[in-house]
Amino acid sequence: MSSLVSDVMTRNVVSVRERAQYKDIILIMRERGFSACPVLNADDAVVGVVSEDDLLVKEAYVGKSAPGLLARRLNRMKATGMTARQLMTHPAVSIRPDAPVAEAARIMHAKHVKRLPVVTADGRLVGIVSRVDLLGVYDRPDSEIEAEIRKRVIVDEFVMDASAFTIAVVSGVVTISGSVEHLDVAANLLDEIRKVDGVVAVRDRLSYPQH
């Protein structure tokens, strides 16, 4: 079964309030070894994220120009900001705890972020997930991956004979061969195998009637 964000996230999250001061934020980050912190409002909802990049704007752009009108305005605001609310990037890019790990990976890649605050439906912070947390899924032994494909996917979900398939798993890359009754069955089977934790790629060697 595919892992959820709640399975891999860090639950003990260090956050700051909107009114947190510039120097206090830096101190927290240095003491805890973090490069970013979620920012919470008075209702404990995540309203943004303040990162090292946000804080460095003060040093990089005070008295200097930045390319583009919007960039100049944003950098000017952050360069003169003193609180988390003024410095943070908002709205925060976040994810729900019941989302699949694969979805978190897609969001991180698309948004070019290294971590995501994990929030409930009402925006309350319950954890944080980083790229390192997601990569941990791929530490799974090949033998466990193969066993899950045979038992949970082939036998339990597709009600087929696992012995009718030849499956090889090497460094998370699955190669599967065997016969199925239809192209749609092959496509669905391959999709489910790709969702198995630890699977890096799937090589299709399945055969099926062409008509």
Six token digits for residue 107 = 């969001």
**CB-based contact 16:50 (threshold 8 Å):** yes
Residue 36's nearest CA partner among 45, 46, 137, 44 is 46
Strands 173-179 vs 201-207: parallel, antiparallel or unpaired:
parallel
Q: What pLDDT was estimated at residue 138?
A: 80
For tokens 């309350």, the residue is 124
Chain-centre distance for alpha carbon 157: 26
Q: What pLDDT was estimated at residue 57?
A: 73
- Which CATH superfamily is 140-207 part of? Fe-S cluster assembly (FSCA) (3.30.300.130)
Its pTM surpasses 0.75: no
Q: What pLDDT was estimated at residue 96?
A: 97
Q: Does domain 5-137 have CATH number 3.10.580.10?
A: yes
Q: Please, what's the b/e burial string for 83-107 (b: 16 or more CB within 10 A of its CB; e: otherwise)?
A: bbbbbbbeebbbbbbebebeebbeb
Q: What pLDDT was estimated at residue 70?
A: 45
Q: Cα separation of 156 and 150, whole Å?
A: 9
Per-residue pLDDT 10s for the chain (211 aa) are: 568 999 999 998 899 999 999 999 999 988 888 888 999 999 999 999 998 888 877 665 555 554 554 455 555 555 667 899 988 988 899 999 999 888 898 899 888 888 899 999 999 999 999 988 888 888 889 999 999 999 999 999 999 999 999 999 998 999 999 999 999 999 999 999 998 988 888 999 999 887 6
Residue 179's nearest CA partner among 145, 204, 149 is 204
Strand partners, 48: 39
Q: What pLDDT was estimated at residue 37?
A: 92
Q: What is the domain partition of the chain in residue ranges?
A: 5-137, 140-207
